[in-house]
């Protein structure tokens, strides 16, 4: 069986949940079947990826601000050329914005066509974009998803939402959750010291960590909510706390109390440096890969219910879930009062991820589901 996956983003650097899912999931899936990923622009160091280098003229006015090349005829034709030569059995659009090129390629080779719903965009737009944009997205999603032979949802809840959205269409909806890669080994003291030096941390400083793309509106909105609603309750209560936000692009305007350090290629060392992590996301859909990455590395985390959406299996046993500003603040203070929160919580969270959310396990189950879709 051959699977052709179409990404709407370049896959270098791997600095977002989308890119981590594509590179990790299909890297593991390639151990079970033949996989080829096509992506616009730079995807160096990704052995499964065939980059299609063509300058985009479509940026700036499409949804999400920059959709790279995937709506352009040049990208569509280049993907179709690869499909005709390689002859995949299945073509999968990895996200709504990959559909145009993936659907065209599938038609050229009479392949089964699927769409991964990375986010239900109309749900993500609520509370972020004004009316009627969310309703426009909902109509567009209904039309596009109804054209696929099958769909992939990230959570069971989203599968139910999509089933209601597409109405009478009874094509299969697979549930393929997000996952995490386990920590291979504890980062060396030199790696940790190097990162602490880059961040100018003093010996007694404690780090509260946030990770995420900062041009993704729910991330930005979450940080602003924390700054305005939660942080005032924490001011002056804990000395020597550094609030480090990892992610690109660095915002032009400051958001108190965060220090924006940009992309960090050594996430393991960053997690080893952290006393605590926070995920104050209050909008969006899907399951946060960054939460799973942090838990897999044993970092205690305070998260909103939206941040752990779709994570069952007792996630509340390994992450502190807090919704209201006061509850969020109190949870942070409780961790700060713990003499060693990482040691006390880290083993449980790592074991939990290994039991339920390793990419290798998810890819194995996905392979079984894919086999059921082809003769």
Helical (H) or strand (E) element with 102: helix 99-109
- Residue labelled with tokens 């108190």: 256
Q: Supply the pLDDT for residue 375.
A: 67
- List the structure tokens of 127: 């509370």
Mean pLDDT of 158-187: 88
Express each pLDDT in 16-31 by its tens digit.
888 999 999 999 999 9
The residues facing 103 across adjacent strands are: none
- List the structure tokens of 318: 């390994």
Coil, strand or helix at 275: strand
- The full set of domains in the chain, from first to last, is 2-179+358-371 (3.40.50.2000), 189-356 (3.40.50.2000)
- Give dist(CA 190, CA 248) in Å, integer: 25
DSSP string, 167-229: TT----EEE----BPPP-SPPPHHHHHHHHHHTT--TT-EEEEEES-TTSHHHHHHHHHIIII
Express each pLDDT in 87-115 by its tens digit.
999 999 999 889 999 999 999 999 999 99
Contact (Cβ atoms closer than 8 angstroms) between residue 17 and residue 246: no
- Give dist(CA 371, CA 360) in Å, integer: 17
Express each pLDDT in 275-296 by its tens digit.
999 999 998 666 688 999 999 9
Q: Supply the pLDDT for residue 128.
A: 65
Among 364, 326, 308, which residue's Cα sits nearest to residue 28? Answer: 364
Contact (Cβ atoms closer than 8 angstroms) between residue 48 and residue 36: yes
Mean pLDDT of 198-211: 95
- List the structure tokens of 208: 């509260």
Q: Supply the pLDDT for residue 344.
A: 58
Express each pLDDT in 134-158 by its tens digit.
788 888 888 999 999 999 999 898 8
Q: Supply the pLDDT for residue 237.
A: 79
Coil, strand or helix at 338: coil
């Amino acid at each position: 069986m051959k699977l052709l996956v179409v990404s709407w983003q370049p896959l270098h650097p791997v600095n977002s949940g989308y890119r981590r899912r594509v590179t990790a999931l299909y890297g593991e899936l390639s151990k079970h079947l033949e996989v080829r990923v096509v992506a616009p622009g730079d995807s160096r160091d990704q052995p499964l990826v065939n980059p299609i280098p063509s300058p985009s003229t479509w940026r700036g006015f499409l949804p999400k601000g920059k959709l790279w090349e995937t709506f352009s005829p040049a990208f569509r034709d280049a993907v179709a050329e690869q499909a005709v030569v390689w002859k995949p059995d299945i073509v999968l659009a990895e996200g709504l914005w990959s559909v145009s090129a993936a659907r065209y390629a599938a038609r050229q080779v009479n392949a089964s066509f699927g769409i991964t719903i990375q986010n239900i965009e109309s749900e993500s737009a609520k509370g972020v974009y004004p009316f009627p944009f969310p309703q426009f997205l909902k109509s567009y999603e209904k039309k596009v998803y109804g054209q696929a032979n099958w769909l992939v949802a990230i959570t069971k809840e989203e599968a139910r939402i999509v089933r209601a959205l597409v109405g009478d269409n009874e094509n299969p909806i697979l549930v393929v959750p997000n996952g995490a890669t386990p920590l291979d080994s504890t980062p060396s003291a030199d790696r940790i010291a190097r990162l602490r030096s880059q961040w100018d941390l003093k010996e007694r400083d404690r780090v509260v960590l946030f990770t995420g793309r900062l041009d993704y509106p729910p991330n930005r909105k979450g940080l602003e909510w924390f700054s305005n609603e939660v942080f005032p309750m924490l001011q002056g209560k804990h000395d020597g706390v550094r609030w480090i936000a990892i992610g690109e692009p660095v915002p032009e305007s400051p958001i108190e109390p965060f220090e924006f350090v940009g992309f960090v290629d050594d996430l393991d060392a960053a997690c080893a440096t952290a006393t605590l992590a926070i995920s104050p996301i209050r909008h969006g859909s899907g399951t946060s890969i960054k939460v799973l990455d942090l838990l897999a590395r044993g970092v205690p985390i305070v998260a909103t219910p939206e941040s752990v959406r779709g994570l069952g299996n007792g996630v509340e046993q390994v992450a502190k879930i807090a919704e209201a500003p006061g509850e969020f603040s109190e949870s942070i203070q409780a961790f700060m009062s713990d003499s060693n929160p990482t040691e006390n919580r880290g083993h449980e969270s790592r074991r939990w991820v290994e039991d339920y959310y390793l990419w290798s396990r998810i890819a194995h189950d996905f392979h079984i589901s894919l086999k059921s879709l082809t003769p």
